[in-house]
Structure formats: structure tokens, C-alpha cells
């Protein structure tokens, strides 16, 4: 196994008995739903061997100030402790899934593990929805994995802060792509954050555009779509944002799958940007 971006349900099913495999269930429902709903779904049925991670509890540090956004990055040591609980060590092949498209919050887990330098981690293409549609096995018992060992730090060169975003957009040295739905980007609605609109100069690529019939579009199709946005820029000159730094990871996953390597996440994203009312806000199309 050498899965580093996406893996099909069929390939995962064929490798369930591999001792080097670790599976992670990241199902979560945002926007006012039961914050424990994803974990309840995991208890009711999950891919055999899957442990559970919670977006708020395990993949974020909600104690940080608003300038870090609605889902601030966890501290690396705390995230490593989560990995150890899941039985994950640096040599493991990890597969993470959520309900369907990977946006909430499988791609976030994938990105955080990549920040530690972990190479073999992939998102399940189609998620639990496709797994069950294929009639593949589902378990209800929680299997305790042997405790893993993980001691690593985040590569801080792979994400950017608000000041760097503002400077890069002002100088024209980078392109910022916003993963939110078009109506939120344009400022027509805003169900979650204190202001509607987008960061001036940002371009819009809703993460849902990466999908077709419940699965990621092909690598060449994704490469052409992102190429139309970034033009002649190298992927390393691309910054990715969303509402809180979660669905931006979906665009990063799509770019990596397409062979466009080196884009960086704006971790605070829109919620971090508008935490300071003095920062400029744009509305309308990009």
C-alpha cells in the first residue's frame, strides 16, 4: 500500500487485514447540528477497525482566540497524542473517511498528518456513503489498537497567517482560492461568520466542484480546472482558504491528487480574517 491522496473503497476493502493499515472515521456535521452526531454514527456502524476523531475535539483547538478562526489548528503535541490513541505510528498506512465527500473533516485530518511529514495517508474516495452502497462490511464494535508512537512537529512552511495573506495579495505574489459556496463568497448569505463576503483579490473554487457523482473528479480534469484559476503560477504560489480552514483542505487534496504540489492553507481563513473589523471585505463575484 502506498496511498497518499485518495484510495478507492474497493482497494481499501481488499487490504482490510493488513497489519500496517490504520483507518480513521472523521464524520462530523457542522452548522448547528448535534456536535456528537458523527461519533454516534461511528458507534452505530463504521468500517471495520476504524477509530474515531472529532473535528472540534481532536482536529482543532477551540481555546485559541478568534484571530485563529473558528477551527484553530491543534498543537502538534496534542494531535500526536490523538494519533497514538488511534494506534498510528509514522510508518502506518492511514486511511481517513467521513460521510461522503471528504470535506468534513477527512481532508482536514489528512492535511494535519501531512504537516507532520507523514507520507502514507489518504482519504477514502466517496466516503462511508459509497462504502455502504457497495455492500462492504460494517462493524459496530470498537477495536482497541495497540498504542502508537508519534513525536513530530508541524511544518510551518505549509500554512500561512493573515499578515502573509494580506501582503501576498497586495503585492500580487500569490493567488488565494476560497473553497466556500459561491453565494457565501459573493456575500449573499453568511450563516456562520460575523461578516459576509470574501477577502479582496480572492478567487472562488467551491470544494463541491471537485466532486462528480459522489467521487473526486479525475486528476487531469482537476488539473485543468485549477490551472484555469491560477494561470502560469506555480502551485507553491497558491494559498487556500474557506470559512474556518477545514474545507480549504479539500481543495488542497484535489490539487495534490492532480499533481499540483505545494499550495498552502490559510489556517484562519475567512473567520480569522473578519475577526478584525478593520480588515477590508469584498462582495460580488471574483
Q: Which residues are catalytic?
A: 242
Strand 159-160 relative to strand 264-266: parallel, antiparallel, unpaired?
Answer: parallel
Q: Verify cis geometry, omega within 30 degrees of 0, for the bond prior to 105.
A: yes
Strand 211-212 relative to strand 215-216: parallel, antiparallel, unpaired?
Answer: antiparallel
Closest CA to 143 of 47, 42, 58, 50: 50
Specify the length of the chain in residues.
286
Q: What is the DSSP string of 246-259?
A: STHHHHHHHHHHTT
Neighbours of 163 (CB within 10 A): 8
Please count the helices (runs of H) and the strands (runs of E) in the chain: 11, 12
Closest CA to 226 of 254, 195, 249: 254
Amino acid at each position: 500500500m502506498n496511498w497518499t491522496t485518495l484510495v478507492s473503497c474497493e482497494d481499501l476493502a481488499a487490504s482490510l487485514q493488513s497489519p500496517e493499515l490504520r483507518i480513521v472515521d472523521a464524520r462530523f456535521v457542522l452548522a448547528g447540528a448535534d456536535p456528537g452526531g458523527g461519533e454516534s454514527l461511528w458507534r452505530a456502524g463504521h468500517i471495520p477497525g476504524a477509530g474515531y476523531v472529532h473535528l472540534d475535539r481532536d482536529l482543532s483547538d477551540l481555546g485559541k482566540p478568534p484571530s485563529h478562526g473558528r477551527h484553530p489548528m491543534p498543537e502538534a503535541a496534542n494531535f500526536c497524542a490523538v494519533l497514538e490513541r488511534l494506534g498510528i505510528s509514522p510508518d502506518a498506512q492511514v486511511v481517513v473517511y467521513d460521510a461522503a465527500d471528504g470535506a468534513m473533516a477527512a481532508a482536514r485530518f489528512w492535511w494535519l498528518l501531512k504537516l507532520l511529514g507523514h507520507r502514507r495517508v489518504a482519504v477514502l474516495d466517496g466516503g462511508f456513503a459509497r462504502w455502504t452502497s457497495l455492500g462492504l462490511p460494517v462493524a459496530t464494535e470498537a477495536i482497541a489498537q495497540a498504542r502508537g508512537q508519534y513525536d513530530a512537529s508541524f511544518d510551518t512552511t505549509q500554512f500561512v497567517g493573515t499578515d502573509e495573506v494580506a501582503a501576498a495579495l497586495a503585492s500580487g505574489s500569490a493567488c488565494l482560492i476560497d473553497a466556500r459556496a459561491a453565494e457565501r463568497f459573493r456575500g449573499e448569505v453568511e450563516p456562520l461568520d460575523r461578516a459576509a463576503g470574501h477577502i479582496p483579490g480572492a478567487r472562488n473554487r467551491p470544494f463541491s466542484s471537485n466532486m462528480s457523482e459522489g467521487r473526486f473528479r479525475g486528476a487531469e480534469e482537476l488539473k485543468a480546472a485549477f490551472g484555469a484559476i491560477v494561470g502560469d503560477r506555480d502551485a507553491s504560489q497558491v494559498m487556500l482558504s474557506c470559512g474556518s480552514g477545514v474545507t480549504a483542505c479539500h481543495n488542497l487534496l484535489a490539487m495534490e491528487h492532480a499533481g499540483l504540489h505545494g499550495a498552502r492553507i490559510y489556517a484562519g481563513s475567512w473567520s480569522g480574517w473578519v475577526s478584525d473589523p478593520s480588515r477590508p471585505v469584498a462582495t460580488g463575484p471574483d
